[in-house]
Structure 1
Amino acid sequence: MGLTAVGIGSGMDINGIVSALVGVENAPKQARFNADAGKVTAEISAIGALKSAMSDFQSKLDFLSKPESFISNKAKLSNSDHLKATVDETAIGGSYSLIVDQLAQSQKVSTIAVADKEAAIGEGTLSFTVDGSSFNIAADATDSLQSLVDKINSAEDNVGITATIINDDDGAKLVLTSTSTGLDNQISVTATDVAPGTALNDTFTMSQVQEAKDSIIKIDGLTVTSSSNTVSDAVTGVTLTLTEADPSKTTNLTVELNTGSVKSGIESLVESYNSLMTTIKEMSGYDPDTKKTGVLQGDSLVRSIQNQLRGALSGVYSTSEGDLTLGSIGVITTREGLLEVDGDKLDEALTANFEQIKELFSSEDTGLASSLDSLIDGYVQTGGILDGRDNTLDNQLERIQESRERLAIKMKAYEDRLYKQFNAMDLIVAQLNSQGNMLLDRLDSLPGVVRKNS
């Protein structure tokens, strides 16, 4: 601003006049900037909401895109007191009677007792063997039971033995436990290269604390023995995990068709798709009640997304047993362009054509889930189409801000120019007023002039 005390010479409100003139010039342009920025900000928000809705839809594809989601059978037990059961895709429907006679367990052996677990027991080499595999520990003259526990447990070539100290009524004993169950995984210990006069050999005369056992189950009266409590080769496609033995109790296992999880996955996909399409409609449509148009109305981007998604979901997909569409399995398109599930028809299709439906969704390159995932990914991935639109809109906001800054400079120069002009005018008016007053004073001083106020 020019002078701080302006208009003294003319009596005019120069500050107000300049402010009004600058405002008249500045206000329309600022209003346009605000409107443009508001529109761009609304578009950025809309693109963010669209990306979020598309990402949610994409996440629902994950389950249906995996072949393992289409394990066609499930295991059902009459009770879970003695075992658990899971199935894979090779399982065959049927019923089985199971009795858990015995659980597998690890062998435990102990040394003889010593009075002090920290006392040296001599030097030599200890060799440990489990199921034909061995590793050695070198005991030096200072080693005790406690230090040998540490050496055994930390040995890099340990073949499956855990050592600990147990203090019973006789004294401290080093106890070895096989990390694997079953008769094949029993422990053998030998002491060699023992220095004369040391107690290493005597101390490591092992006695059994707990015997090794194989698991024993009866399946429809047939005996199955395993070194583990997890039995995966007794019934095709079924893994049994044994938890408790009781020869007097029978557990019934039924392997039957499992369509529930796939149906839920399809329903979840439909729900997410409808949510996405509703979001797109709100962004691009017109509300006759509020008489408001969507932020992205007429935008080619949302039209492209709608058309591509509808095309993918209405397409015909080839399977090894013939062509399939969503409509043929009970997922139909409504008049509003949304999807709707005919539950009964979908149940029938899953029962009759489960493998076909598996191919429809989960085929790696040609399946519906894979096709939709690739389509959506092109939009939502980092550097994708929506990120590109975001960058364009961010650049527009930057240009609007740059225009604001240029306008502010221009308005400051305009304001300075107005103050300069009005101040010059004010000075001239002040000079004219001063000259006028001087002239009046001289006229008043002439002889014969009568003052008006005299």
Structure 2
Amino acid sequence: MSIQSLGVGSGLALDDLVKQLLEAERKPKTDRLDAREEKNEAELSGLGQLKSKLSDFKDAVDELRRDTDISGREPVITDPDADTSIITAEAANSALTGDYEIAVSQLASGSRIITNDGDFASSSDSVLSAGSGSGSLTFKIGNTGDTFSINVAEGTTLAQLREQINNDENNFGVKANIIETGTAAGAKLVFTSEITGTNNDLTIVNDNDLADLERLATTNSLEAATYLVAAENAKNAIATIDGLTVQSATNEFENTIQNVSFTAERESPFDTDGTTRRTSTLSIGFDREGLDGKIRDFVDNFNNLISEIKTLTKYGESDLEEDGALAGDALARGIQNTLTGLVGENVSASKLGGLFQLGIELDEDGKLEIGSVDFGLGSGEDRLKEAMDDNFDEIAKLFTDSEEGIAVRLYETLKLYTDSGGLLQSRERNAKDERDRILDDRAALELRLLSTEQILRDKYLNLDLTVARLNQTGSALLAALG
């Protein structure tokens, strides 16, 4: 298709006329497409922002609905010396509140075995003499079933044996070390077991009953003989709780106090009499600070979402103020109303009944607040304090009850909007389809304008040629008459 240059023959500005006519045809249609595109881009952007904020809030309520520590207990320990920690403690949510006086008189330890004086002059001594053959040593704890074995070859030195023991992949907690005494006692190999608790002593079996290995074993293959004797036997940890003696095979005392575990870090110091142990006070109380923070975080997260929805859906109050990306959008408004309704519902699973009794109220903007004004029922801060004082464990049910919990219901509702195939994704898909239609309409408009331009140029080309011929005829007549 050729587009001829117009006005050459006639001298008329026909080319400009065609351009003006095309622009008159193009502008209103382009303006409508631009307006559609601007609205579409704003909608896609607004839906993306809304989905992001909803997802953030969903993650927050998901964490809250599954928070097993929302009614947590807070162990507080007061040691005799503020700079020295005697015990550490943890408490389950079901632990009873109270104070306990605890003193640690003995830490749990494993057994220790030391080779005899003069058996080895230095760490380079061979543990098996030439011609004695090879054998093995088995390390075991009879009560626990822990066991591993070491093969000992001729010529193995005391230092090499130490490394074999320490590096064995099946070693359950036996450490070997060499002490060079620098005396007639020579080098001593020390075996230390990490398995603590009374009767959990380490046994070293001379599997092949080799005479040389009797220097390193506690017993023969039948476990009927006695060679090395433990320098220290394995021991329990011993403590007193309010004057009652308790023991544990490890330094951790689990459920000695119901639903509370404490770990002995070191022995308690003696009092001035030199015999009585000074006690540490373990206080089990409610984790008020932690719960208060979670409640206020919930309020802030909810309000951030509502603020975002209001910003996206607002209409500008003047020509100078732009509308929100989703101004007047029914879906966004519906989300706001649904969430506002959920936080105001009753929760029969909790004695508190609802968020109002927790001090949380809806203000005139649809946001949550812990009110400071007393309207006869106590301010929000007063009600929150009262709930923590009198119904601490009931607070968790407001949020986490599997059927009625506010965080549970909020999470399930938010999933309807944010999950794959949810309502927001459907809206985004429709908006993207509209974007594609706008692109198609632009392409179709350009094709129509090309066709219109050709028609106009063909039409005005004939006019151009006719005027050119008339001009030539007039010029000829003037010349003849002249």
TM class, shorter-chain normalised?
0.7 to 0.9
Report SS of the residue matched to 1:89: coil
In the superposition, the TM-score normalised over structure 1's length comes to 0.83
1:131 deviates by 4.1
- For residues 164-202 of structure 1, the C-alpha deviation after alignment (integer angstroms, 9 at most, x for no partner) is 66574679877654343334443211122367xx95554
Return the match for 1:335 from 348, 355, 364.
364
Match of residue 87 from structure 1: 91
The answer to whether the 8 A contact 1:107-1:187 is kept is: yes
Match of residue 54 from structure 1: 54
Match of residue 275 from structure 1: 304
**Higher deviation after alignment, 12-21 or 39-48:** 12-21
Say whether 1:401 aligns with 2:401: no
Return the match for 1:180 from 195, 214, 227.
195
**Higher deviation after alignment, 429-438 or 355-364:** 429-438
The CA RMSD over aligned residues, in Å, is 3.4
1:92 deviates by 1.4
**Higher deviation after alignment, 109-118 or 20-29:** 109-118
Return the match for 1:222 from 240, 244, 260.
244
Structure 1 unaligned spans of 5+:
444-448
Distance 1:12 1:2, change over 3 A: farther
- For residues 240-268 of structure 1, the C-alpha deviation after alignment (integer angstroms, 9 at most, x for no partner) is 12222233243212122333322221222
Q: 2: distance between equivalents of 1:109 and 1:421? A: 114
Q: 1: distance between equivalents of 2:199 and 2:11? A: 113
The answer to whether the 8 A contact 2:4-2:457 is kept is: no
The answer to whether the 8 A contact 1:72-1:354 is kept is: no
Report SS of the residue matched to 2:147: strand
Match of residue 334 from structure 2: 304
1:291-370 equivalent positions in 2, closer than 5 A: 292-319=322-349, 322=351, 324-341=353-370, 342-370=380-408
Q: 2: distance between equivalents of 1:29 and 1:120? A: 101
Partner AA of 2:242 in structure 1: D
Runs of 4+ displaced beyond 6 Å: 117-121, 170-174
Distance 1:358 1:435, change over 3 A: same
Distance 1:376 1:435, change over 3 A: same
Structure 2 unaligned spans of 5+:
219-227, 271-277, 371-379
Identity across aligned pairs (percent)? 29
1:330 deviates by 1.8
Distance 1:296 1:115, change over 3 A: closer
- For residues 343-371 of structure 1, the C-alpha deviation after alignment (integer angstroms, 9 at most, x for no partner) is 11111022222233222221123222111
Report SS of the residue matched to 1:310: helix
1:106 deviates by 3.5
The answer to whether the 8 A contact 1:125-1:191 is kept is: yes
Partner AA of 1:244 in structure 2: R
Q: 2: distance between equivalents of 1:314 and 1:56? A: 21
Match of residue 446 from structure 1: none
- For residues 81-109 of structure 1, the C-alpha deviation after alignment (integer angstroms, 9 at most, x for no partner) is 22212211231122122222232233454
1:19 deviates by 2.5
The answer to whether the 8 A contact 1:63-1:69 is kept is: no
1:18-33 equivalent positions in 2, closer than 5 A: 18-33=18-33
Match of residue 10 from structure 1: 10
- For residues 91-144 of structure 1, the C-alpha deviation after alignment (integer angstroms, 9 at most, x for no partner) is 112212222223223345466756449998852232221243143436274794
Distance 1:313 1:136, change over 3 A: closer
Q: 2: distance between equivalents of 1:409 and 1:109? A: 96
Match of residue 392 from structure 1: 430
Say whether 1:252 aligns with 2:281: yes
Report SS of the residue matched to 2:68: helix
- Work out the number of aligned pairs and report it: 439
